[in-house]
Amino acid sequence: MSTLRFHAIKETFNRPVIDVKEAERRSAVFGSNVFNEAAMRQYLTKDSYKSVKDAIVNGSKIERNVADHISTGMKEWAISKGATHYTHWFQPLTGTTAEKHDAFFETTDDGGAIEKFGGGQLVQQEPDASSFPNGGIRNTFEARGYTAWDPTSPAFIYGTTLCIPTVFVAYTGEALDNKTPLLRALQSIDQAATAVAKYFDKSVTKVNPTLGWEQEYFLIDKALAASRPDISMAGRTLLGHTSAKGQQLDDHYFGSITRRVLDYMRDLENECMLLGIPVKTRHNEVAPNQFELAPIFEETNLAVDHNSLLMDVMAKVADRHEFKVLFHEKPFAGVNGSGKHNNWSLATNTGVNLLGPSSTPMKNLQFLTFFINTIKAVNDYEELLRASIASASNDHRLGANEAPPAIISVFIGSQLTTVLDQLEKLKNGKLSPEDKTDLKLNVVGKIPEILLDNTDRNRTSPFAFTGNKFEFRAVGSTANCAKPMTVLNAIVAKQLIDFKTEVDKLIKGKKMKKDDAIFNVLKGYIKDSKRIRFEGDGYGEAWEKEAKKRKLSNNKTTPQALKAQISKSTISLYEDLGIMSKVEIEARHEIEVEEYAMRIQIEGRILGDIARNHVIPTGIRYQNLLIENVQGLKDIYGNTFKKHATEQMELIEAISGHIAKINKGITDMINERKKANTIEDAEKRAFAYCDKVKPYFEEIRYHCDKLELLVDDEIWPLTKYRELLFTR
Ligand code: ADP
Ligand code: MG
């Protein structure tokens, strides 16, 4: 084993055990670092408290003098918890979170000092926005950006810093972050869904979309990760032969969690409790060293913030335990990658889950309404939904050799399929009394019963109904959930608005009864959105063919998928709902294609460096050893030496062959990179990186991995898959 690998692995064995106890009663510590209801009641005046609540529930504006009161209360609370700094915490279009800490500390005129935090500092700040991606918005409008307090997501203390969740927008109003469009989409769906829910229950005044994400990740020892330039810089391995043992024995999934990992998870969960992130489930995943963490679902804006915060906390806690967390969707070839299922539903202020079937037929008509409208929305905007989860790293799952496929489809299970089939058969127009009775007794009335034993859950579907929620499974593990959640909530909002218009037209124009009108419209939707429903195996080639016939998109790469973001239908969707303007939409697209090209460029450089500086020299060293050996055999055996040196000679030949291929691959790849870099247009550049540069990765890797198998383990410098995946 090479010295480098030896030391990295040795370090893992010397890791001290950090004994972490589980918080005794989670409920007792939960949210203690959050400026939540309890803290607000204690630290705010009655009026300030009411004003914040009003802003949260009704979106009302908080007056400046009230903000001063709130900031004072917040500061007192934060200082009592040991905070010394505050920051506006936001989610720029880099996909991660950003913060700039300022101390509460300020000097006074008389040479003293005080702790200060005014309403102005709570409500608005101006980070140096020019260093964040803006897709040309700033150049076009010469606008500065500012962050503004989002009272719907409570402030929290992380470390010694009071973090205030904020939106990030340009002074000209364009959103520069992931949160702003999300909040607008959530507002749209609230209005649209409330209007529809009122058909069934007049007392509904608000609908909150809910989100429960499931975060998958790999945990690798820090020293091992640091020994690999590709993991350190790209978050994934760009080469490495698969180990003899991978996940074929299925012995990791739900297996017992090792001591060191469990200590990490405990520490992480304790942190989550303080921060009010309601994590609940932890378990091993399918691949070795792969795990999952899932919370109790929450209102979507908060759930999105909590996921972003969690990813940050995970990395920091891992560091404490000498681990590195890999969020990449495919850190290792040959074993499963990671996703982030987004479980989504709609909850009313009256406590009803609109996607939860119930025992009364009337309530089930409500269920069917939201269920079918969601399917219709996904049918109409499948390509945009695919675009919302596109990234260079997620391309390794979608459309590559891993489920789910790049084709968006909806799985609902055989029982609900039967229900929709029956509804589809209804005659147009007013329902006969017999039809109605039949519907009530045999179709709508049966739903909760049949759902209970709905066990045929399809694991290959990108978008599946799972009993009382939809599960968007194609979301990648690195994703900021705001993106898919903005799209999903926007398209369902648009769909519900259209639905209500159509139903009202039948009620008023055709003098239909409400139920009849609803059934009529739903029936049409079932027919129109049949192509999106798919119950079969999403992995297979057969589905690709079938999907093509159904005219479903199959965009396997990010540049291709992102096109839907700037299509006419997307622009009018966002403009109609007031979620984003054309300028904002185009800016975002530009940022994403640019980011894509940069990521492939970085990976290309890393791969080139590793292959030329680590792999080829090692191949040559081993070849020299062989040559020396052949030379020695010649000395001993003279003319008959060949008989004794056949294998060695073959190896020498093979090594030369691989080295030549690697070297040529790198040269050609660099040439393609140079060409790509001269392309002005960001989208075209992304396509060049995708179609011309990236294909060399496989080719170069293939020969590097072959060399890994040939070369003496003693001198191979890169930590091997078996060491990365089975040391913990
Ligand atoms: P799995 O998909 O791993 O089998 P589950 O189906 O139990 O797990 O889903 C777990 C996730 O679904 C959790 O994050 C949970 O909070 C979330 N979830 C459950 N109900 C809802 C809901 N009504 N809205 C949003 N998310 C939900
Ligand atoms: Mg799931």
Phi, psi (deg, nearest 5) at residue 149: -55, 135
pLDDT in tens, 72-95: 999 999 999 999 999 999 998 887
Centroid of ligand 2 to alpha carbon of 482 (angstroms): 18
Distance CA 413, CA 369 (A): 17
Containing H/E element for 582?
helix 582-610
pLDDT in tens, 447-485: 776 665 554 567 788 999 998 999 999 999 999 999 999
> Closest Cα to atom 14, ligand 1: which residue?
212
Ligand nearest to the CA of 457: 1
**Which is the closest atom of ligand 1 to the Cα of 297?**
16
Distance CA 728, CA 722 (A): 11
Q: Counting beta carbons within 10 angstroms of the beta carbon of residue 536, is it exposed (0 to 12), middle (13 to 18) or buried (19 or more)?
A: middle
> Closest Cα to atom 23, ligand 1: which residue?
345
Task: Establish whether residue 276 lines the binding site of ligand 1, counting it when its CB lies within 6 angstroms of any ligand atom.
Answer: no
The pLDDT value recorded for residue 124 is 87
Distance CA 355, CA 348 (A): 11
**Which is the closest atom of ligand 1 to the Cα of 347?**
23
Ligand nearest to the CA of 343: 1
CA distances from 636 to 411, 646, 651 (A): 71, 15, 20
For residue 151, cis peptide bond before it (omega within 30 degrees of 0): no
Mean pLDDT, residues 10-16 taken together = 83
Containing H/E element for 669?
helix 641-677
Task: Establish whether residue 458 lines the binding site of ligand 1, counting it when its CB lies within 6 angstroms of any ligand atom.
Answer: no
Mean pLDDT, residues 367-385 taken together = 98
What residue spans of 173-228 are helical by DSSP H? 179-197, 222-226
Q: Counting beta carbons within 10 angstroms of the beta carbon of residue 636, is it exposed (0 to 12), middle (13 to 18) or buried (19 or more)?
A: exposed
The pLDDT value recorded for residue 259 is 84
**Could you tell me the pLDDT band of residue 405, with boundaries at 50, 70 and 90?**
confident
Q: Looking at per-residue confidence, does 154 or 22 come out higher?
A: 154
Burial 422-444 (b: 16+ CB within 10 A, else e): bbeebeeebbeeeebebbbeebb
Containing H/E element for 42?
helix 37-43
Task: Please name which of 423, 441, 452, 435 lies closest in space to residue 530, comparing C-alpha atoms.
Answer: 423
For ligand 2, a single-atom ion, the residues with CB < 5 A are 341
Distance CA 427, CA 429 (A): 7
**Which is the closest atom of ligand 1 to the Cα of 466?**
6
Q: Looking at per-residue confidence, does 454 or 358 come out higher?
A: 358
73 neighbors 52 (Cβ within 8 angstroms): no
Name the DSSP letter for residue 581: -
The pLDDT value recorded for residue 711 is 96
Contacts of 232 (CB under 8 A, 6+ apart): 225, 226
220 neighbors 324 (Cβ within 8 angstroms): yes
To 5 degrees, how large is the angle CA 627–CA 631–CA 633? 115
Centroid of ligand 2 to alpha carbon of 214 (angstroms): 6
**Which is the closest atom of ligand 1 to the Cα of 296?**
16
**Unique residue bearing structure tokens 């001591």:** 259
Task: Establish whether residue 214 lines the binding site of ligand 1, counting it when its CB lies within 6 angstroms of any ligand atom.
Answer: yes
Distance CA 388, CA 633 (A): 63
Q: Which architecture, in CATH terms, is 186-231+249-580?
A: 2-Layer Sandwich (3.30)
> Closest Cα to atom 4, ligand 1: which residue?
466
β-strand pairing of 161-170 with 85-89: parallel
The pLDDT value recorded for residue 225 is 94
Distance CA 363, CA 381 (A): 27
Task: Establish whether residue 473 lines the binding site of ligand 1, counting it when its CB lies within 6 angstroms of any ligand atom.
Answer: no
**Which is the closest atom of ligand 1 to the Cα of 214?**
14
**Could you tell me the pLDDT band of residue 361, with boundaries at 50, 70 and 90?**
confident
518 neighbors 215 (Cβ within 8 angstroms): no
Distance CA 17, CA 52 (A): 44
Task: Establish whether residue 466 lines the binding site of ligand 1, counting it when its CB lies within 6 angstroms of any ligand atom.
Answer: yes
Q: Is the pLDDT of residue 142 over 60?
A: no
**Could you tell me the pLDDT band of residue 198, with boundaries at 50, 70 and 90?**
very high
Mean pLDDT, residues 478-498 taken together = 98
**Which is the closest atom of ligand 1 to the Cα of 468?**
23
Q: Which residue pairs from 633-640 have beta carbons closer than 8 angstroms and sit at least 24 positions apart in sequence? A: none
- Give one DSSP letter per residue of 309-363, joined into a string: HHHHHHHHHHHHTTEEEE--S-SSTTS---BEEEEEEEEETTS-BTTS--SSHHH
Beta bridge partners of 89: 165
Containing H/E element for 291?
strand 290-295
pLDDT in tens, 279-292: 988 888 878 899 99
Beta strands in 387-472 (DSSP E): 410-411, 463-465, 470-472
Task: Establish whether residue 353 lines the binding site of ligand 1, counting it when its CB lies within 6 angstroms of any ligand atom.
Answer: yes
Contacts of 369 (CB under 8 A, 6+ apart): 196, 199, 200, 499, 518, 522
Ligand nearest to the CA of 352: 1
Task: Please name which of 402, 380, 352 lies closest in space to residue 487, comparing C-alpha atoms.
Answer: 380
Q: What is the CATH number assigned to the segment(s) 594-726?
A: 1.20.120.1560
> Closest Cα to atom 17, ligand 1: which residue?
212
To test the pocket of ligand 1, the residue of 299, 304, 469 to mutate (highest count of ligand atoms within 8 Å of its CB) is 469
Task: Please name which of 527, 576, 404, 575 lies closest in space to residue 473, comparing C-alpha atoms.
Answer: 404
**Which is the closest atom of ligand 1 to the Cα of 343?**
26
Domain borders along the chain are: 31-177, 186-231+249-580, 594-726
The pLDDT value recorded for residue 143 is 56
Mean pLDDT, residues 485-506 taken together = 98
Is 186-231+249-580's fold the same as 594-726's?
no
Phi, psi (deg, nearest 5) at residue 457: -80, 130
Distance CA 725, CA 728 (A): 8
Containing H/E element for 215?
strand 207-221
Distance CA 271, CA 290 (A): 21
Ligand nearest to the CA of 466: 1
Distance CA 239, CA 34 (A): 43
Distance CA 217, CA 164 (A): 27
Distance CA 641, CA 629 (A): 11
The pLDDT value recorded for residue 678 is 97
CATH class, domain 31-177, is: alpha beta
Q: Looking at per-residue confidence, does 141 or 265 come out higher?
A: 265
Q: Counting beta carbons within 10 angstroms of the beta carbon of residue 486, is it exposed (0 to 12), middle (13 to 18) or buried (19 or more)?
A: buried
Three-state SS at 298? strand
Q: Is the pLDDT of residue 24 over 80?
A: no
Angle between helix 300-320 and 259-275 (nearest 10):
140
**Which is the closest atom of ligand 1 to the Cα of 353?**
23
Task: Establish whether residue 452 lines the binding site of ligand 1, counting it when its CB lies within 6 angstroms of any ligand atom.
Answer: no
Task: Establish whether residue 296 lines the binding site of ligand 1, counting it when its CB lies within 6 angstroms of any ligand atom.
Answer: yes
To test the pocket of ligand 1, the residue of 282, 297, 473 to mutate (highest count of ligand atoms within 8 Å of its CB) is 297
Ligand nearest to the CA of 300: 1
Ligand nearest to the CA of 354: 1
**Which is the closest atom of ligand 1 to the Cα of 295?**
14
Q: Counting beta carbons within 10 angstroms of the beta carbon of residue 578, is it exposed (0 to 12), middle (13 to 18) or buried (19 or more)?
A: exposed
Centroid of ligand 2 to alpha carbon of 342 (angstroms): 8
**Which is the closest atom of ligand 1 to the Cα of 467?**
6
To test the pocket of ligand 1, the residue of 215, 279, 342, 343 to mutate (highest count of ligand atoms within 8 Å of its CB) is 343
240 neighbors 705 (Cβ within 8 angstroms): yes
Centroid of ligand 1 to alpha carbon of 403 (angstroms): 19
Mean pLDDT, residues 642-657 taken together = 95
**Could you tell me the pLDDT band of residue 376, with boundaries at 50, 70 and 90?**
very high
Task: Establish whether residue 210 lines the binding site of ligand 1, counting it when its CB lies within 6 angstroms of any ligand atom.
Answer: yes
**Could you tell me the pLDDT band of residue 206, with boundaries at 50, 70 and 90?**
very high
The pLDDT value recorded for residue 28 is 83
Provide the token pair at 135.
């897709």
Distance CA 197, CA 218 (A): 42
Mean pLDDT, residues 404-419 taken together = 91
Ligand nearest to the CA of 462: 2
CB atoms within 10 A of CB 600: 24
Q: Is the pLDDT of residue 534 over 70?
A: yes
The pLDDT value recorded for residue 172 is 83
Q: Could you give the percent of the chain with pLDDT greater than 70? A: 95
Q: Which residue pairs from 262-267 have beta carbons closer than 8 angstroms and sit at least 24 positions apart in sequence? A: 263/17, 263/18, 263/19, 263/20, 263/321, 264/20, 264/219, 264/317, 264/318, 264/321, 264/323, 265/291, 265/293, 266/20, 266/21, 266/22, 267/18, 267/20, 267/317, 267/320, 267/321
**Unique residue bearing structure tokens 């030369």:** 656
356 neighbors 267 (Cβ within 8 angstroms): no
Whether the CA torsion 54, 59, 65, 68 is positive or negative: it is positive
